[in-house]
Amino acid sequence: MSQSRTKSGYIIAAAFIGPGTVTTASLAGAQFGFHLVWALVFSVLATIVLQDMAVRLGFATGKGMSEALHHQFRLPWIKYPLVLLVVGAIGIGNAAYESGNLTGAALGLNNIVALGIGPWGGVMGGLAAILLWRGKYQLIENVLVALVAIMALVFVVTFAVSEPDWSGMLSQITDPVINTESLTTILALIGTTIVPYNLFLHASLIARQQQEHSQPASEYRRQSGIAIGLGGLITLVIMATAMQTFFGKADALNAGNLAAQLAPLLGPYAEVFFAMGMFAAGLTSAITAPLAAAYAVCGALNKPTDLTSVWFRAVWGIVLVAGVVATLTGTKPLYAILFAQAANGILLPVVALLLLYMMNTHPQLGALRNRLTANLLGAGVVALIVGLTYQKLFA
């Protein structure tokens, strides 16, 4: 089986293991130890459930999620509000997420060469723009996924040699925390894992790959579950390394010492390696976020989703420019990234409800239509996220 037939699930996993994941998981581990592992486990399981729906939709319809929505709804008074909703939700969410991607990548590089967060964000944005404009992103993605895997391996080995307090971690896992102080971090963990734009991107990738290399739906679904599970494990290890280094003295965690998690293994080279990993993760996410926005918006507007079309390039260009501008505003880096992830957590219920509706009504789904179990799981995901968001905003 060729690589082009099997990488979509891992592209999705690499997309959510960006600088936002590293930063959010580090903050969660430093501030709350393993008391928030329940939120990560929920996020991973919810991501598997929702991405599985996106896989089945793309496979059965041969279209991305927004394209399927556009063609299913014929009444103007229903179609156009939905189009505006998709364009607004994904556009705003991706603009916030893109600023987090570029800011996170700039964080690492700035620790090596102090040009400033803004200039480094501009460099990252320019590099992403070149790659997207040329349409040669697949090879770059493969290289960056490998770099992110190297970073993940180092976190695993670092955790293993740091003499972890297993009994302490277990006691914290079995003593989950959910209170006013932790809600922002909980929403950020959810937002950095269950990324709304990944639902649109995954369906579009499956539809495209199915046209080029036909294979059973079960293969896509299996790979999606494995890749997302591995991504969740990487996030857990990042949380654990931060806990080992910072828990109990969370005020010591800041933009300049995130690399301290790697010091037990890499010593003076920790900062350089961490910067390389953040660069790799940031550039991967900085490419996939505008790419997904272009698929979603062009599909919703019934415009060509070809990588070289004017509409496609205009959409990803707007998202990318918004991300670059955000890095120049002087916002504190850690808070910018955390805000981007929390914004995704708030936008997610809207996108998830649209997906649930599609999985029950689209005429082309056939045997891949949602069954009772999938509907109950999907509804549970939406209900919990809405409840947490309500608590954050109004309680």
- pLDDT tens-digit profile of 168-190? 889 999 898 888 888 888 888 88
Whether pLDDT at 48 is above 80: yes
- Is 108 in contact with 334 (CB distance < 8 Å)? no
Q: What is the pLDDT of residues 350-390, one digit of tens each?
A: 788 888 988 998 888 989 999 999 999 999 988 888 887 77
Amino acid at 205: L
The CA dihedral of 344, 345, 346, 348, to the nearest 10 degrees, is 80
Given a contact cutoff of 8 angstroms between Cβ atoms, the answer to whether 352 and 50 are in contact is: yes
Model pTM score: 0.85
Q: Which amino acid is at 174?
A: T
Q: How far is residue 283 CA from its own chain's centroid?
A: 13
Strands (E), 2-161: none
Q: Write down the pLDDT at residue 131.
A: 82
